[in-house]
Amino acid sequence: MIGLEYVDRLKWNAELGKRLESLRGSLSMRALAERVNNLGYQCSYQYIHKLEEGRSESVSTDIIVAICDALGEDFKELYPSFYIEVSIHVKKS
């Protein structure tokens, strides 16, 4: 298994956007962005909107983990079946 700290970006899609919107609940996008910024990461409410709409192909691992932290949610709530299959990326000799 590879630690999340070694993964720079994660694929993103509309399904994940809907899951993020659900996790955000009644908290406004602006309030969420402010919380993320207070954690030391630059994030705008427009970017959160873009993620929720599924209009991004990928997302920075640092930002999405910070978003989860700002929501008080475990990363696995957003990516419940997260794992990295390394063997498909390694050529056999």
Tell me the per-residue pLDDT of 55-89, one tens digit each, with 9 for 90 and over.
Answer: 999 999 999 999 999 999 988 888 887 655 544 44
- Alpha-carbon 78 to chain mean position: 7
* 0.85 exceeded by pTM: no
Domains of the chain: 4-79 (1.10.260.40)
- Residue 39 Cα distances to 55, 64, 69, 84, angstroms: 24, 12, 9, 26
Tell me the per-residue pLDDT of 10-36, one tens digit each, with 9 for 90 and over.
Answer: 999 999 999 999 999 999 999 999 999
Check whether 44 has a pLDDT greater than 60.
Answer: yes
